[in-house]
Structure 1
Amino acid sequence: MTIERSEPAVDADERTMLEGWLDYHRSTLALKCEGLTDEQLRTASVPPSELSLMGLVRHMSEVERSWFRRVLADEDAGPLYYSEADRDGEFHPTEADTWQEAYATWQSEIGAARRNAAGFALDDPSRGRHRFSDDPYSLRWIYTHMIEEYARHNGHADLLRERVDGATGD
């Protein structure tokens, strides 16, 4: 699999630019994982941290699901990897967990996010609510938050990838 990544045009309209930067950061995370084995993708950074590249991808599946399905569209979409018994379950991949499954799930959630977002204008209020607030969120706010979320975790992914095989770059 070859990951294509490009920045949005400097003269794009606001929605195109927000969607472009979100896709850019989604692709960046995929690039950080490209070419690694399942074992390498499950490799934690340094104790006591349990953070791994596969864990980050599984986390972003949960984040995409939460904001675009539960909050934006008010879908009844339960958790994928976490539970009441393990609130950080996405960060705890086992030897049975594979990149193929994690990547497919992530891409499925990105597809659902795109479909749901297509039905909203940037200023439309969300139909659902976040567990931390009773206020609706605009699609603009969700896009901006998702760009921030990916950008922050892509910084983690840089360090994780360097730890696994020494690869660096943006």
Structure 2
Amino acid sequence: MTTERTEPALNAGERAMLEGWLDYHRRTLAWKCEGLTDAQLRTASVPPSGLTLLGLVRHMAEVENGWFTHVLTGVDEPVYATEEDPDADFHHTDADTWEEAHATWQAEIASARRNAAGLDLDALSKTVSRRTGEPFSLRWIYTHMIEEYARHNGHADLLREVIDGRTGD
């Protein structure tokens, strides 16, 4: 399967622009993982780091859930995290597969879209910031998610280069 990445519009309205950039970055992460085996997706970057592409995909499923479900709607149902291992998204085993991680990630993206649909960008989250005690606007969540993906796509680029030398934007 070839991941299609469409450049975000240059002159869209604010919501379409935010959603366009978020979708672009989602597809970029999928593209970075494309064509690799489960073993390659479990390949860590550089010791002592245990960061892998599989871990990044699992992490982004957790992040989609965290912001668009837990924070936005107030429903707290983590994907991989547990009390014993809050970073379980990064701690995969040989039994964890791309098929499961990708399906979970896509399900969380679909849930994120449903949770945000119909809300104004000024809509406030049900969960408040631990730092300020204030709720987050949907606009802030979109902006943060774009930043989160952009940062991790940089990691994904380096991981992919270690695996097979493939680079790209």
- Counterpart in 2 of 1:113? 112
One-letter amino acid of the structure 2 residue matched with residue 42 of structure 1: R
Structure-2 residue corresponding to 1:149 = 148
Q: Distance in 2 between matches of 1:119 and 1:130?
A: 23
Native 8 Å contact 1:161 1:168 kept in 2: yes
Instruction: Report the Cα distance in structure 2 between the residues aligned to 1:155 and 1:24, rounded to whole angstroms.
Output: 14
| Structure 1 ranges of 4+ moved more than 6 A | none
CA distance in 2, matches of 1:129, 1:57: 26
* 1:158 Cα deviation after fit: 0.3
Question: What is the CA-CA distance between 1:73 and the residue it aligns to?
Answer: 1.2
Task: Name the SS for the 2:74 alignment partner.
Answer: coil
How far has the Cα of 1:120 moved from its partner?
Answer: 1.2
C-alpha distance in 2 between matches for 1:102 and 1:30: 11
Task: Give the alignment of 1:81-100 within 5 angstroms.
Answer: 81-100=80-99
- Is the CA contact (8 Å cut-off) linking 1:8 and 1:20 kept in structure 2? yes
* Structure 2 counterparts to residues 10-49 of structure 1, below 5 A: 10-49=10-49
1:131: Cα distance to partner? 4.9
What do residues 32-52 of structure 1 show as CA deviations (whole Å, max 9, x unaligned)? 000000000011111110100
Q: Deviations over 1:113-143 (max 9, x none)?
A: 0000113100111122355552110000000
- Secondary structure of the residue that 2:30 maps to in structure 1? helix
Q: Which residue of 2 is the match for residue 163 of structure 1?
A: 162
Return closer, same or farther for 1:168/1:111 CA change in 2, 3 Å cut-off: same
TM, length-normalised to structure 2: 0.96
Count, aligned residues: 169
SS of residue paired to 2:89: helix
Q: Secondary structure at the match of 1:126?
A: strand
Q: Following the alignment from structure 1 to structure 2, what is the Cα–Cα distance between the partners of residues 131 and 13?
A: 31
How far does residue 6 in structure 1 lie from its aligned partner after superposition? 1.0
3-state SS in 1 of match to 2:124: coil
Please give the secondary structure, in 2, of the residue aligned with 1:97: coil
CA contact (8 A) 1:74 1:129 kept: no
What is the aligned-residue identity percentage? 70
SS in 2 for 1:128: strand
| Aligned amino acid, residue 67 of structure 1 | W
Q: Which moved more, 1:4-13 or 1:141-150?
A: 4-13
Distance, in Å, in 2 between the alignment partners of 1:130 and 1:116 is: 19
Q: TM-score, normalised by structure 1?
A: 0.95
CA RMSD of aligned residues (A): 1.2
Q: Structure 1: which 5+ runs fail to align?
A: none
Contact preservation (8 Å) 1:29, 1:157: yes
